[in-house]
Chains A and B, each alone.
Chain A
Amino acid sequence: MSQPSATRFWTLQRKAAPYVFISPFIIVFATFMVYPLIQSILFAFQASSGPKSTAYVGLDNFRFMLRDPDFWTAVRNTATFAFFSVFVQLPLSLGLALLLNARWVRARSFFRLAFFSPHLVGQVFVAVLFSLIFIPRFGLLNRAIHAVLGMGLETKWLMDPSLVMPALVLTALWMYVGFNMIYFLAALQAVDPQLYEAAQVDGANRWKQFIHVTFPGIKPIAVFIMIMSAIGSFQLFELPYVLLRQTPGPNQAGLTIVMYLFSTGFSTGDLGYASAIGWALVLIILTISLAQAKVMGLWKRDA
C-alpha cells in the first residue's frame, strides 16, 4: 500500500525536524568547541612557536609551570581578586538586595536599575573610564577620598604595587555589585511569604527570620551566585589589561592567569604552554566550584 506522497512528506518533515533544527548547533559546536577542546588537550603536551611549528614535550609544560614564578604570581593575584569578589562583593550585593526587598521601599525599580546600570558598560569601557578615575590629583576617586577623608590627592592607584589590587577590586565592585544583587533579589522574592508569617507567629525576630527562613530559601541561588562569581573572577583579564596599559603592572601586581595565558600564547607564541595554563585554570575553577558547592551543602538533603 503506498501512501499519498503528500502525507509521506508530512510524516518525514516531522521526523526530520528536530535533527534539522539542532544540526546548525551541532556543526558549530563540534567545530568550534569539541574539536578545539580536544586539540587543547594535545597542545598542553606540546611546545610551539606560533601556529605552525610544534613538538611533543610530554609533561614538560606542567613541570615548568610548577616552578614558573610568573605563573604563581598570576595565580596569587587572581585568587586574591576572587576572594574579594566572593567575600566582599557578594555580601554587599546581598545587603542591597535585602534592603531593596524590604516592604514599603519606594522607587524599587529605579534603585534596581541604578545598581544594575554599570553592568551595561563592558569591561573594556569600564577600564577606560576607571583609568581616568584613578589618576592622581584630578581623578574622581582621589577627589572623593580627599573630600570625605581629607587625604592627599596624589595617590597613584595604578603605579603602586600595593594599590593595584585594591583598584581592581574596587572597579569590579562597581561593575558587579548590582548585577549579583539582581540574582539575590529574585531569590528573595521567590521565598514563600507564608514562611515569614509562620516565623512571626512563632515570635522570631528579624535576625532569626533571616537565619531560619531567608537563608535556607535563597541558599541554592546563593551557591549558584558564589560559584559563578568565583568562576568569573578567575577569568579576570580585561580590567587589569586595559587599566595597566597592557602590562602586568608594577611588580606584576596586576598579572592574572588569563593575562599570562594571553601573553604566553599570543605575544611569546607558545600555544602549547598557553593551553597548559588554560587547563590549570580549568582545574582551579572546577576545584573551587566543587569546594564551594560542598561547603554550602548543596548535595545534602535538607531535613
Chain B
Amino acid sequence: MRSKAGFDILLVIAIHLVLAAAACVVLTPLFWLVCAALKGPNDLFHYLFASPDPTLENFRSLFKQVPFFRYMTNSMFIATSVTLLQVFFSSLAGFALAKYEFRGKRPIMVLMLATMMIPGQVLLAPMYKLIYQMGLVDTYWALILPAVVSVFGIILFRQSMLQIPDELLDAGRIDGCSEFRLYWEVVLPVSRPMVGAFTLIAFMGSWNSFLWPQIVLQDHARFTLPIALNQMVGLYSQEYGSLMAGTLLSILPVIVLFFLLQKEFLAGLTSGAVKG
C-alpha cells in the first residue's frame, strides 16, 4: 500500500512499533526503580512493578540508616560550586580564545587539544600526591579546585562565541563598556544556549563523579551521593527498598535540571561534533 507521497504506510507503522518497543525496553528499568522505591519490604518481590499500596517506608528507613540528607547537601554544595565556577571561568577563557588575538594563544589551544586526548586516570596518582602535599585530602577543596575550569567547556564556549559578530562587541566598546562588562552584559547573554547546555554537562559531571571523590574523601560526613550509595551496596545489600529509594533521590536533581535546560542541552551537546 503506497500513499501519494510514495510512502509505505505499513513501513511507517512498523517503524513506530519498533520505536515504541525500544522505548519500553529503555524506560522499564526506570519505572521499575520508581516502583521498587515505593514498595514496602513485603511487597517488594511480591509484585513485579507497582504494589497496590505505595509507601514511603523505604525513604524513612533510608534516612534512619545513614545520614542521607547530609550526603545530599554535600553533593548539592559541591556540584553547584563546581558548576558555577566552571561555567564562569570556562566561558571567560572561551571568550578570550574566540574574540582576542594575544601572545601564546596558539600554544595554549594546541596544549588544550592535546590533553583532551589523554584519559584523566593517568593523573590520579600525581594528583593524589599533589592534593596530599597541599594538605587537602578529605576536604571539599580537593573536589572543587581541580574542577574550577574545564577544557571541554572552553572549547564549547569558544566555538559558540566565534559566531558573535565583532561589530556587536565594537558597538559595546563605543558605548563605553569595559572588556569585562562586554563579556558580562553582551557575550554571556548572547551565548545563553551554550551556558544552558554546559551548565547541565558540568553539573552532571560533578554530581555523578566517583573515582576521584572515592580517592580523596575519607570522612563519612563529607561523602557525596555516589560514594555513599556505593558503600550502602556493600553494607545494606539486603535492604533493597532503601537502596532504590536512595538511588531515586540521587538522580532526581539531574532530571529536574535536565527538564529545565533540555532544549539548550540537546542542541549544545551535538553542536561541536556536527560543525567540527
Contacts and interface: CB of A to CB of B under 8 A. Distances in A.
Interface stretch (B26-34, B56-64, B65-73): B26-34
Interface stretch (A30-38, A62-70, A80-88, A294-302): A30-38
A234 B108 CA distance: 27
Nearest to B123: A36
A159 B148 CA distance: 41
B240 A132 contact: yes
Main secondary structure of the interface of A (DSSP, over half): helix
A236 B114 CA distance: 21
B151 A29 contact: yes
Contact of A105 (B16, B95, B250, B273): B16
A100 B19 CA distance: 8
Contacts of A37: 115, 118, 122-123, 126
A104 B117 CA distance: 40
A120 B269 contact: no
Interface residues of B, number: 91
A117 B7 contact: no
B251 A125 contact: yes
Interface in A228-244: 231, 234-235, 237-238, 241-242
Interface string A261-303: 1100110000110110011011001100100000000000000
Contact of A245 (B32, B211, B225, B233): B233
Interface in A20-65: 20-22, 24-26, 28-29, 31-37, 39-40, 43, 51
Contacts of A117: 26-27, 30
Contacts of B23: 110-111, 114-115
Interface of B: 7, 12, 15-16, 18-19, 22-23, 26-30, 32-33, 36, 44-45, 48, 89-90, 92-93, 95-97, 100-102, 105, 108, 111-112, 115, 117-119, 121-130, 132-133, 145-146, 148-149, 151, 154, 173, 178-180, 183, 204, 207-208, 210-211, 215, 225-226, 229-230, 232-234, 237, 240, 243-244, 246-247, 250-251, 254-255, 258, 262, 266, 269-270, 273-274, 276
